[in-house]
Every structure is written in C-alpha cells, then in structure tokens.
C-alpha cells in the first residue's frame, strides 16, 4: 500500500462475508458472530464440496441457534447455513407479510453469510512475480490536491488489472504501477507568493498558485534544481525500497518504465538526459564564435578574441583537472539507479520545451535526435486530440511528420487489431474547423478519453489546441533566465530548405513543383493515402486516442488533460509495449490479437 506519510489506514482481516457481493461485515458484528459460532459449532464438519450452491435458500428449515445483535439478529440453520436479518420495523412488517404469503423467512428477508472468503487459500497462493515496474509521475496541481497521484495510479492499476485478466492471463508475471509524489516535500519560496497574492477572487488565485505556478517554478533558475532533485531522489528512493522488498527483481532482469503526465514529462526528460540551462548558454557562446568567424573583424577585435579563446581553453583545462581530482576521491553515483525501458508521456508539453531550447528537425528518423536510446529504449507520446497542453514530438525529428497523422490507439475491445509496428503512416486530412459550438458539436458529452466510434479526422492546427499553445508558451517564457536573447537566437536559427521530393505517379512534375512552397514540400503518396517509402521514423512516437462521435471538443478541451488515468485503451496500450517480448513468443497464442 503506497500512502502519504501523514495517512494511516487500518488493515483488518475479514471473517464473515455477505453472499453475492462478498463484502465483509463490520468488524464489531463480525467478531460477535465469530465468537458465537465457535462456541456453538466448534469441531463440527462443513460440507466436503466447497463449490456448493451458496445462494440456495433454506426453505422450511428451522433455526437451530440465534444471536441477537444491536440492530440485527443471526439465525443458524446448520453449521454452514447462516442468515442475517434486520430488526428494523419495516423489515419486520415485510417479513411477516411475505411469510403469510408462503415464503420462508430466509428467502424473503434474510441475507446469507459465509465464514471465510469464496475461495479456499492454498500454500501456492501468492502474488504473481513482478517482472516490470512502472513509476507514475504527476504533473502540476499536486499541491492543490495532495495524494491525487496515489488515487490516479490506483485507477490506472485497477484498469490494467482488467486488461491483464483479459489478454495476459496466461503469463506468470505482471506489471506493477507505483505512484511518485515529489511535489509535497518541496519548500520552494515558502509562502512568499501567497503573501503577495491579492485577496480579490482569492479562490481562483490560490488554485493558480497551486497548479500553474509549478511551470513558473520550473522555468526559474532559482527553483528548477529543487524540482529536479525532488523527483530524482523520490524515484531512486522508491526503486531502492522496492528492490529491498523484492530481492529477486534485479536478479531476474526486472525492467523499469516511467509514465509521466503533463509537466512531469519535462522534468523526467531532463533528469534522464541531464539537461540544464547552462548547456544552452554554452551552445549560444559556441554559436557566436562561429558567427564571428564568418564576418570581417578588425585586427584589434581579432586579437582580443584570440585572447578570449585561449583563456577559455585554459579555464576548461583547469575545470577538467579539478573534476578529475574529485572523481578520483568520490565516485559520482548515476542520476537514476535504473535503466528506463519505456518512457510514456501523457498530455505532454515536452515538445514545446524542446523547441524553445533550440531543437530543430533533422534528416534521420532516429529517436536519438531527442532522446538517445542508450538512455531510454523507447519514447512514446500519448495524447488526446483536444488536450490543450499536449504537443507532438515526431515533427521535431522529421519535419514532414507534421503532415502525417499520429498513430491511432486501438480501442481495448477491438477484434484483431493491426499491430502498431505494421501500421503505415498516413496523411492528415485537413477540413475546415467549425467556428461555433452549434455547427457540429453535440450537446451531450462523454468523459474523455472515450471508446466511442471514431470521428472523421480533422486538422488540429487550427483547433482549440491553440488556446493551450498560447498558455504554455506564455508560461514557459517567464523563466527564460538568461534573457530573451537565448531563445530568440535559437528561434531565428536558419534551417536548410528541404529538398523537393518526387511526386506520385498521378502527380504533375512541372508547374506543380514551382508552386510548392519551400516550407511545405510535396510528399510522395499513393491513392490509398499512405506514404510511399521515403525518410521515415525508425519507430513511431506520437500515439493519439480516438475521439468519440458524440464528444464535444470544447468540453473535451477542459476534461481531456486529466482523463488518461482510467482509460482502458491506454491501459492496453501500455501493457502491449511492456509485454512485447512475451507477445513475440509463438506459444503465447492469447496475445495474437493485440
């Protein structure tokens, strides 16, 4: 049980359970019934067959023993036929009427009780071996609702259990989801922000201070390191604690994945890659040196630059010698105590942070362009199409993927879905965005993400996602730290004009090529709408939940960012990738449809 340190929840052993629901009785009543049962029937044998018809009423049998409780009474018809009756006036009247009509007391108003749970325990009963642990990292707003990540992780765990029972029941191992609560232990500015907050609309201001303020803290040079260290230390603490309680996990090659939400994706990424603003400053200095080499400068300026260059070289040599001395005496521990197998981002603004740091599309389809596979084997970006905080990562690797649809996540109940690695890239289908709710939005709304029939694809470049884009860009710009010079300099960095690709068989080559703008080269495609072989990603990264037919986009923009936790579609998606090695085993026929 993973709880906050301040919470204490008693764990009790159930003795008497209600037939049908198998819910335990209250502890006080259960203890009284247990004591009476042992005094009266100790030593008598139960029926040999445990799989008896437990719901069959005892018509015509007289009670051989009774016990009066405060609001109820219990009748024993035999050692294993026990009924609970309410002594409320309405229950007594109903019992009298039904008995006069010929029904027995037990069948008319009694609730059958069972001693012990529905299944007998055996020596072999034990939790399945955990082969994969998933750390679930929260984003903003945890200060506003402490413990929310524990509840969200519990929802994700319960949903994953249902999927495991349906598709992965033949496996002897399972995936365990563990919440990572890193925000509540941080002090940051103390109560300084609260003290400068005006009193008018205080509730709204407090909500913003407890949620959106986390973005400002992270973009602040003063508090960024505290947030990074808070999450890093909590991840390592939980991993160490888990391994101490499961010593065979590392010995048998247990794997670790991370599921991060919202701002948690950015912090987790920076921990894994070791990124910090100083690196951006060093890149700026290097860029300035390159620009100076390309322009004419005076003799005096050149002489000063040479002295500056020599001084910097000397400074770097001294720093390297100093670090070498420290490394020889103190071995620096790794940032994380484990290798990350899969990094799942949900509702993530990571792409816009990387863009503001100067990441631009390259010419290779490798994930290494933004996250080296030596650090993390697989990066997967999950989002709902109307989530205003979510951004795509693929166009940061290959620019033309901005015109290619994200991979559609399968509904959990889809029969024989096509494996994700076999799904071909397809073009987006831009259509005019409706200008008002009444044009195409239904009044009824379904919580998102949903598993309703999919809508016709729309281009989301002009959708309500722009609202989120403006808010995230605005918040991220608050803590530029080194001034607007850094980001604006990289923002103006020139990009090479992409080469014009060959058109398809049906496309004209002459005037059409001239009419094509440099920023949007024509992409080769077939009449089916799928891409012909060209520069492609080694693995797809962007995965999109399906919109529902009756789903209001404007309502989804409000709810979609926090609606990932209980989605069966996402649960199946996560487990599909984490159980991938087992799925490739030909003996696992149960998984052929995933």
DSSP per residue, 304-334: HHHHHHHHHHHHHHHHHHHHHHHHHHSPPPP
- pTM beyond 0.75, yes or no: no
3-class DSSP state of 169: coil
Range of the domain at 34: 16-41+58-123
Q: Do 257 and 132 meet the contact criterion of CB atoms below 8 Å apart? A: yes
- 248 and 374 together in one domain: yes
Q: φ, ψ for residue 421 (rounded to 5)?
A: -70, -15
Looking at 68, 96, 123, which one is the last position of a domain? 123
pLDDT over 50 at 592, yes or no: no
Residue 506 domain-assigned?
Answer: no
Q: Are strands 111-115 and 16-18 parallel, antiparallel or unpaired?
A: antiparallel
- 345 and 359 together in one domain: yes
- 300 and 151 together in one domain: no
Handedness of CA 567, 568, 572, 573 (dihedral sign): negative
Looking at 80, 95, 123, which one is the last position of a domain? 123
* Alpha carbon distance 229, 143 (integer Å): 17
- How many other CB atoms are there within 10 angstroms of residue 573's CB atom? 23
- 253 and 371 together in one domain: yes
Among 279-288, 363-372, 394-403, 467-476, the range scoring the smallest mean pLDDT is: 467-476
Tokens of 266: 């950015």
What mean pLDDT do residues 546-574 have?
83
pLDDT digits (tens, 9 = 90+) for 109-152: 678 898 887 677 777 777 778 999 999 999 887 766 667 899 99
- 72 and 84 together in one domain: yes
Residue 266 domain-assigned?
Answer: yes
- 264 and 406 together in one domain: yes
H/E element, 563: none
Residue 65 domain-assigned?
Answer: yes
- 421 and 542 together in one domain: yes
pLDDT score for 284: 67
Residue 592 domain-assigned?
Answer: no
Residue 150 domain-assigned?
Answer: yes
How many domains would you assign to the chain? 3
* Alpha carbon distance 140, 264 (integer Å): 8
Residue 35 domain-assigned?
Answer: yes
Looking at 105, 123, 141, which one is the last position of a domain? 123
Residue 156 domain-assigned?
Answer: yes
What mean pLDDT do residues 48-71 have?
62
Place of tokens 């012909």: 532
- 556 and 420 together in one domain: yes
CATH number for the domain that contains residue 408:
3.40.50
- 217 and 139 together in one domain: yes
pLDDT score for 400: 92
Question: CA-CA distances (angstroms) from residue 470 to 381, 464, 477, 481?
Answer: 20, 10, 11, 20
Lateral strand order in the sheet of 65-68: 16-18, 111-115, 81-86, 72-78, 65-68
Of 478, 481, 477, 479, nearest to 491 (Cα)?
477
Terminal alpha carbon distance of the chain: 31
Question: CA-CA distances (angstroms) from residue 123 to 17, 127, 129, 131?
Answer: 22, 12, 16, 22
- 86 and 194 together in one domain: no
Residue 197 domain-assigned?
Answer: yes
Catalytic residues: 262
- 234 and 190 together in one domain: yes
- 289 and 305 together in one domain: yes
């Amino acid at each position: 049980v993973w709880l906050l340190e301040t919470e204490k929840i008693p764990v009790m052993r159930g003795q008497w359970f209600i037939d049908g629901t198998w819910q335990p009785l209250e502890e006080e009543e259960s203890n009284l019934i247990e004591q009476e049962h042992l005094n009266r029937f100790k030593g008598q044998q139960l029926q040999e067959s445990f799989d008896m018809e437990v719901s069959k009423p005892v018509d015509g049998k007289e009670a051989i023993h009774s016990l009066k409780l405060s609001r109820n009474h219990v009748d024993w018809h035999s050692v294993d036929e026990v009924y609970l009756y309410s002594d409320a006036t309405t229950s007594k009247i109903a019992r009298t009427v039904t008995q006069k009509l010929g029904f027995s007391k037990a069948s008319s108003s009694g609730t059958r009780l069972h001693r012990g749970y529905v299944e007998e325990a055996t020596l072999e009963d034990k939790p399945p071996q955990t082969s994969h642990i998933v750390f679930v990292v929260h984003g903003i707003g945890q200060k506003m609702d402490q413990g929310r990540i524990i509840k969200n992780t519990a929802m994700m765990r319960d949903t994953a259990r249902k999927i495991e029972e349906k598709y992965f029941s033949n496996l002897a191992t399972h995936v365990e989801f563990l919440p990572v609560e890193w925000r509540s232990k941080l002090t940051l500015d103390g109560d300084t922000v609260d003290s400068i907050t005006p009193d008018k609309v205080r509730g709204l201001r407090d909500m913003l201070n407890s949620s959106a303020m986390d973005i400002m803290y992270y973009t602040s040079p003063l508090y960024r390191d505290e947030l990074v260290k808070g999450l890093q230390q909590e991840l390592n603490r939980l991993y160490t604690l888990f391994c101490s309680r499961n010593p065979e996990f590392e010995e048998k090659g247990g794997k670790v994945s991370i599921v991060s939400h919202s701002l948690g994706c950015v912090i987790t990424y920076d921990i894994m890659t070791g990124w910090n603003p100083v690196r951006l400053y060093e890149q700026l200095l290097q860029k300035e040196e390159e620009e100076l080499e390309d322009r004419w400068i005076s003799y005096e300026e050149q002489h000063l630059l040479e002295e500056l260059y020599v001084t910097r070289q000397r400074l770097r040599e001294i720093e390297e010698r100093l670090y070498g001395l420290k490394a020889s005496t103190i071995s620096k521990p790794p940032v994380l105590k484990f290798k990350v197998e899969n990094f799942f981002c949900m509702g993530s603004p990571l792409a816009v942070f990387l863009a503001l740091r100067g990441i631009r599309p390259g010419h290779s389809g490798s994930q290494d362009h933004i996250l080296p596979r030596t650090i993390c084997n697989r990066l997967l970006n999950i989002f709902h199409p109307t989530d205003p905080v979510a951004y795509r990562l693929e166009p940061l690797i290959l620019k033309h993927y901005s015109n290619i649809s994200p991979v559609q996540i399968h509904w959990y109940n889809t029969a024989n879905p096509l494996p994700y690695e076999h799904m071909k890239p397809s073009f987006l289908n831009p259509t005019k965005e409706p200008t008002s709710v009444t044009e195409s939005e239904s009044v009824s709304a379904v919580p998102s993400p949903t598993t309703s029939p999919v809508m016709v694809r729309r281009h989301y470049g002009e959708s309500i996602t722009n609202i989120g884009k403006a808010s995230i860009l605005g918040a991220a710009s608050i803590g530029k730290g080194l001034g607007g010079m850094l980001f604006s300099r990289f923002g103006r960095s020139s990009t090479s004009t992409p080469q014009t690709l060959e058109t398809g068989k049906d496309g004209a080559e002459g005037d059409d090529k001239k009419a094509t703008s440099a920023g949007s080269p024509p992409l080769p495609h077939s009449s089916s709408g799928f891409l012909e072989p060209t520069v492609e990603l080694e693995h797809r990264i962007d995965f999109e939940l399906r919109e529902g037919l009756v789903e209001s986009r404007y309502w989804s923009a409000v709810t979609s960012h926090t609606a990932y936790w209980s989605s069966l579609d996402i649960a199946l998606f996560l487990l599909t990738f984490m159980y991938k090695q087992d799925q490739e085993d030909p003996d696992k026929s149960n998984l052929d449809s995933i």
